[in-house]
Amino acid sequence: MNVYDATRMADLLGREGYTETGDEADADLVILNTCHIREKAAEKIYSELGKLALEKRAREAEGRDMKIVVAGCVAQAEGEEVLKRQRAVDLVVGPQSYHRLPELLKQAKQGRRLTDTEFDVEDKFESLPQPSRAQIRARGVSAFVTVQEGCDKFCSFCVVPYTRGAEVSRPVPDIVAETRRLVDAGVREITLIGQNVNAYRGPDDDGREWSLARLLAHLAGMEGIDRLRYTTSHPVDMAQDLIDAHASLEKLMPYVHLPVQSGSDRVLKAMNRKHKAADYLDIVRRLRKARPDVAMSSDFIVGFPGETDADFEATMALVREVGFASSFSFKYSPRPGTPGAERTDQIDEEIKRVRLAALQALLEEQRQAFNSATVGRTVDVLFEKPGRHEGQIAGKTPYMQAVHVSGPADMIGGVAPVAIVAAGSNSLAGRLLGKGEEAKA
């Protein structure tokens, strides 16, 4: 979502005459789009700001200006505190306020240091300009579209409900228009995103609410779209119509990111996840029934307060039972203002470290096994960019695996069958099929 937000901020500032640069030393304006989810991510911002402050001072000595903006969830959570902690910051802007950036920057240029972390009723998306065709093309053939923001779940470890606010779904016609614009400019893969994307309940023109499954079915009918994905889902919102969509919609990719966090019912309850391990396993079973080749991916937290060795073993058992194609796993990080942080039975850092290492070893083994199992198969690849070596092109399988093949650059933006010949640690090597072979595949 931060990647999506950053592109929207760039679209907005493009209208004000700014262009993007990859080089901080060249920038008149630096925006740090921050993440508050774990302490490490939030603290990184301050070390980054320290470096930028030095750069800014050096500029000022030469009579040039550089504005520094802190955006995203650290901005939302810490507000004024950021201005106090780092004098070089000019502007602090929360994720629901970035459509006001041009106005805020005008004030910052007059020497005011400001904070805007309002959650207001005004529709942020409506006030944002759409990217030009050239901007869309430059960003590649795969794009995100935010369909839902915020969260009402209040998992006891998580800051999202406080930093992103309550669940809001965008109206269907807005999503369709944004998607059409992307597809008309050459985008082939759309990933619908939201903190709780499968809780989507957006109104259509008649005010009727659509589910995510209905939205996906509608978008699947749009000419030019080859692939649809959605992320991130919560198990309690995994409705049967969404599971069925994996059977009926060919364009819906057989890859589901469905965070479980823990395999222990006791820990899941303490986390306020509102489901049990067996419910998760049942969803996976139904998904596999609908689409036998579906690949599963998840998020895990180890060392939530009170987690025992037996609880951790239950997580390992769940992982063994499901078999994940990929995953994200983290040590629990107590976040200020969340119920988990108040608990007195915090787990020792060393225990968290050992549990995370064991879990990651198992997940990595599963990821490698999944990739190795693709060798010898023929899979469709959406080519996204030139490969690392001359004459190579790179893309993704339906299961999100990176693949490179020898092939012409004019295939970028298209889908073609590829025979997978080898699995490396982070990507697969393949061979484009010839005309006759293609028919067999």
Query: Residue numbers of the site for ligand SF4 (CB under 6 A)?
Result: 151, 153-155, 158, 160-161, 195-196, 234
Q: Determine which residue in the list 148, 196, 366, 374 makes contact with ligand SAM, applying CB under 6 A.
A: 196
Within 367-396, which residues bind ligand SAM (CB under 6 A)?
Answer: none
CB of 330 to ligand SAM, least distance (A): 4
Question: What does the per-residue mask of binding to ligand SAM show for 239-278, with x meaning CB under 6 A?
Answer: --------------------x-x-----------------
Largest Cα separation within the chain, whole Å, is: 68
- When the beta carbons of 347 and 432 are compared against ligand SAM, the nearer one is 347
Q: Determine which residue in the list 330, 370, 383, 399 makes contact with ligand SAM, applying CB under 6 A.
A: 330
314 binds, among ligand SF4, ligand SAM, none (CB under 5 to 8 A by kind): none
- When the beta carbons of 131 and 259 are compared against ligand SAM, the nearer one is 259
Site stretch for ligand SAM (CB under 6 A), options 331-339, 344-352, 399-407, 421-429: 331-339
What are the beta bridge partners of residue 210? 202
Residue 331's nearest CA partner among 392, 229, 379, 262 is 262
Site stretch for ligand SAM (CB under 6 A), options 80-88, 173-181, 200-208, 326-334: 326-334
Confirm or reject binding of residue 283 to ligand SAM (CB under 6 A): no
161 binds, among ligand SF4, ligand SAM, none (CB under 5 to 8 A by kind): ligand SF4
Kindly state the number of chain residues that form the binding site for ligand SAM, as judged by CB under 6 A: 17
Question: Rounded CA gap, 122 and 13, in Å?
Answer: 19
Confirm or reject binding of residue 279 to ligand SAM (CB under 6 A): no
- When the beta carbons of 151 and 175 are compared against ligand SF4, the nearer one is 151
Within 90-119, which residues bind ligand SAM (CB under 6 A)?
Answer: none
- When the beta carbons of 56 and 234 are compared against ligand SF4, the nearer one is 234
| Residue 379, both tokens | 């899979």
253 binds, among ligand SF4, ligand SAM, none (CB under 5 to 8 A by kind): none
Confirm or reject binding of residue 36 to ligand SAM (CB under 6 A): no
Q: Determine which residue in the list 255, 280, 332, 399 makes contact with ligand SAM, applying CB under 6 A.
A: 332
Angle ∠(274,277,296) on CA atoms, nearest 5: 105
| Residue 191, both tokens | 């990933």
Confirm or reject binding of residue 38 to ligand SAM (CB under 6 A): yes
| Residue 202, both tokens | 């957006």
Within 394-423, which residues bind ligand SAM (CB under 6 A)?
Answer: none
Confirm or reject binding of residue 232 to ligand SAM (CB under 6 A): yes
Q: Determine which residue in the list 238, 301, 382, 394 makes contact with ligand SAM, applying CB under 6 A.
A: 301
CB of 232 to ligand SF4, least distance (A): 7
Residue type at 29 in one-letter notation: L
What are the beta bridge partners of residue 257? 297
Binding site for ligand SAM (CB under 6 A): 37-38, 157-158, 160, 195-196, 232, 234, 259, 261, 299, 301, 330, 332-333, 335
